[in-house]
Structure 1
Amino acid sequence: MATAKIVLNASRDIPFNKLVLSQANVRKVKAGVSIEELAEDIARRTLLHSLAVRPVLDAEGAEGAETGVYEVPVGGRRFRALELLVKQKRMTKTQPVPCVVRTGGFAEEDSLAENLQREPLHPLDQFRAFQTLREAGLGEEEIAARFFVGAGVVKQRLKLATVAAPLLDAYADDKMTLEQLMAFTVTDDQARQEQVWEALSKAYSREPYQIRRLLTEGAVRASDKRALFVGLEAYEAAGGVVMRDLFLHDDGGWLQDPALLDRLVAEMLEAEAATVRAEGWKWVEVALAFPYGHSRGLRRLSGEPVPLSEAEQATYDALHAEYERLEGNDPADAGELDAVAQRFVEIDVALRALEDRPAVYETAEVARAGVFVSVDAEGQLQIDRGYVRPEDEAPVEPVAVPGNDGQVATPSAAGAGGAVAAQPAIITGNAQVSAPAPVSVVGPEAPKEEEGLRPLPDRLLTELSVHRTLALRDAVAGDPDIAFLAALHALCLRSFYQRGGGSCLDLELKSAGFGVQPPDLAASASAKAIDARQRSWGGQLPQAAADLWATLSAFDGDSRAALFAHCVSFGVNAVHEPWNRNPQRLAHADALAQAVGLDMAAAGWAPTVDAYLGRVPKARILEAVREARGPEAAQLIDHLRKPDMAKEAERLLAGSGWLPEPLRPPTDASMEGDAGAEGDDTEVLPAFLTGDGEAPVPTEAVAA
Structure 2
Amino acid sequence: MAIIDIKLSQLRLSPLNARRVKPSAIESMADDITAHGMLQNLVAYEEDELFWVFAGGRRYRALKVMVKRKRITNNDLFPVEVRTKEEAIELSLAENSARENMHPADSIRAFASLRDVGLSASEIAGRFGYAESYVSKMLRLSALNPKLIDILAKDQLTLEAAKALTLSDDHAEQLRVFKASNGQAHSIRSMLTQEKLTTQSGAFLFIGRDAYADQGGTITPDLFSQGDGGYADQPEIVQELAQAKLDGIADEYRAIGWLEVTATFDQPYDLYNKGYLYPAEREPSEMEAARMAELDAQIEAIAEEEGEDSDRIEPLAEERETIVEGLRSYNADQKAVGGVALWISRDGSVSERIYRAKAEKSVKATGGANGPAPLYPNSLFADMTRIKTQIVQEAVAANPSLALDILLDSLSGQLLHGAYSFRQALELKAEAVKTDVPDEMMVTSDVRPVEEVMATRFAALPTEGRFEAIRAMAPDDKMSLLAGLVAMMVDGTVFSGGCPSDRHHQFEQIAKASQVDISDRWSAPIAVFDRMKRASLITLLRDEVGEASADNCATIKKKSDLAVNVSGRLPGKWLPEPMRIGAFDKPESDEDEAGDDLENIDTDEDADELA
Task: Report the TM-score, using the length of structure 2 for normalisation.
Answer: 0.39
Which structure has greater helix proportion? 2
Task: Report the TM-score, using the length of structure 1 for normalisation.
Answer: 0.35
Structure showing greater Rg: 1
Identify the structure with bigger relative contact order (alpha carbons < 8 Å, sequence gap 6+).
2
